[in-house]
A and B are shown apart, each in its own frame.
Chain A
Amino acid sequence: MAVVNKKASSYAFKIFAYAFCILLTVLSIFPFVIMIVNATRNTAEIQSHAVSFIPGNNFRTNWNILMGRGFNPLDGFKNSLIVSVGSTACNVYFSTMTAFALVAYDWKLRKPFFTVIMAVLMIPAQVTSIGFYSLMYKIGWVNSFLPLILPSIAAPTTVFFMRQYMIPSLPMEILQSARIDGAGEFRIFNQIVLPMMKPAMATQAIFSFVTSWNQLFMPQILITRPELRTMPMMVSLLNGDAYKTEYGSVYLGLLLTVIPILIAYFLLSKYIIEGVALGGVKG
Chain B
Amino acid sequence: MKTKLKGISYSKYGYLFSIPFVVAFLIFTLYPTIYTATLGFTDCRGVLNDNYHFLEHPFENFKEILKNDSFRVSLKNTIGIWIANFIPQISIALLLTAWFTSHSNEIRGKGFFKVVFYMPNIITAATVAILFHSLFNYPVGPVNDILVSSGLRDSSYYFFTNKMASRLIVAFIQFWTWYGNTMIVLISGVLGISPDIYEAAEIDGANGVQTFFRITIPNLKTVLLYTLITSLVGGLNMFDIPFLFLSGGPDRATLTTSVFIYNLAFSGNYIYNRAAAASMIMWLLIAFFSAILFYIMRDKDQIKIDKEIKRAKKEAKRAAKGGVNQWQL
Contact of B120 among A28, A106, A133, A239 (CB under 8 A): A28
Most central of B39, B116, B286 by chain A CB within 10 Å: B116
Does the CB pair A101–B14 fall under 8 Å?
yes
Asked whether any CB of chain A lies closer than 8 Å to the CB of B269, the reply is no
Does the CB pair A130–B24 fall under 8 Å?
no
Does the CB pair A150–B24 fall under 8 Å?
yes
Q: Smallest Cβ distance from B310 to chain A, in angstroms?
A: 13
Q: How far is the CA of A185 from the CA of B262 in the complex (A)?
A: 45
Does the CB pair A250–B21 fall under 8 Å?
no
Does the CB pair B17–A189 fall under 8 Å?
yes
Asked whether any CB of chain B lies closer than 8 Å to the CB of A49, the reply is yes
Q: How far is the CA of A173 from the CA of B39 in the complex (A)?
A: 51
Against B, the Cβ 8 Å flags (1 = close, 0 = not) of A91-135 are 000110110111011111110010000111111111111111111
Asked whether any CB of chain A lies closer than 8 Å to the CB of B316, the reply is no
Does the CB pair B122–A172 fall under 8 Å?
no
Against A, the Cβ 8 Å flags (1 = close, 0 = not) of B150-188 are 000000000000000000000000001010110011011
Which parts of A38-94 form the interface with B (CB within 8 Å)? 38, 46-47, 49-51, 94
Contact of B28 among A25, A97, A124, A151 (CB under 8 A): A151
A126-B258 contact in complex given A105-B14, A216-B126, A235-B124, C-beta closer than 8 Å: yes
- Collect the chain B residues with CB atoms within 8 Å of residue A247's CB: 134, 137, 140
Does the CB pair B13–A101 fall under 8 Å?
yes
Q: Smallest Cβ distance from A231 to chain B, in angstroms?
A: 7
- Collect the chain B residues with CB atoms within 8 Å of residue A38's CB: 142
- Collect the chain B residues with CB atoms within 8 Å of residue A129's CB: 32, 36, 261, 265, 279
- Collect the chain A residues with CB atoms within 8 Å of residue B23's CB: 153
Q: How far is the CA of A176 from the CA of B3 in the complex (A)?
A: 9
Total of A-B residue pairs, C-beta within 8 Å: 303
- Collect the chain A residues with CB atoms within 8 Å of residue B127's CB: 232, 235, 254, 257-258
- Collect the chain B residues with CB atoms within 8 Å of residue A216's CB: 124-126, 239-240, 243-244
- Collect the chain B residues with CB atoms within 8 Å of residue A221's CB: 262, 266
Against A, the Cβ 8 Å flags (1 = close, 0 = not) of B109-133 are 1000111111111111111001111
- Collect the chain A residues with CB atoms within 8 Å of residue B121's CB: 283
Does the CB pair B5–A214 fall under 8 Å?
no
Range of interface residues on B (Cβ < 8 Å)? 35 or more
Q: Determine, out of B69-77, B195-203, B229-237, B317-325, the stretch whose residues face the partner at the interface.
A: B229-237
Q: How far is the CA of A257 from the CA of B124 in the complex (A)?
A: 8
- Residue of B whose beta carbon sits closest to that of A206: B122
Does the CB pair A261–B115 fall under 8 Å?
no
Q: Smallest Cβ distance from B5 to chain A, in angstroms?
A: 6
Does the CB pair A258–B123 fall under 8 Å?
yes
Against A, the Cβ 8 Å flags (1 = close, 0 = not) of B13-28 are 1111110111111011
Asked whether any CB of chain B lies closer than 8 Å to the CB of A272, the reply is yes
Does the CB pair B239–A126 fall under 8 Å?
yes
- Collect the chain A residues with CB atoms within 8 Å of residue B213's CB: none
- Residue of B whose beta carbon sits closest to that of A277: B188
Does the CB pair A151–B24 fall under 8 Å?
yes
Q: How far is the CA of A34 from the CA of B202 in the complex (A)?
A: 46
Q: How far is the CA of A151 from the CA of B280 in the complex (A)?
A: 20
- Collect the chain A residues with CB atoms within 8 Å of residue B99's CB: 17, 21
Asked whether any CB of chain A lies closer than 8 Å to the CB of B146, the reply is yes
8 smallest beta-carbon distances between A and B, as pairs: A131-B35, A105-B14, A107-B14, A131-B32, A101-B17, A131-B36, A153-B24, A277-B188
Known: A131-B37, A276-B118. 12 other contacts (CB 8 A): A20-B95, A21-B107, A97-B21, A104-B1, A106-B1, A106-B11, A122-B286, A128-B35, A128-B36, A129-B36, A134-B32, A185-B10
Question: Which B residues form the contact surface with A (CB < 8 A)?
Answer: 1-3, 5, 10-18, 20-25, 27-29, 31-39, 47-48, 92, 95-96, 99, 104-105, 107, 109, 113-127, 130-135, 137, 140-142, 144-146, 149, 176, 178, 180-181, 184-185, 187-188, 226, 229-231, 233-234, 237, 239-240, 243-244, 258, 261-262, 265-266, 272, 275-276, 279-280, 282-283, 286-287, 289-290, 293-294
Question: Can you report 16 residue pairs joining A to B where beta carbons are below 8 Å apart?
Answer: A105-B3, A108-B11, A113-B18, A123-B283, A130-B276, A137-B48, A150-B24, A151-B24, A151-B28, A151-B29, A213-B124, A262-B123, A272-B122, A277-B185, A279-B226, A283-B178
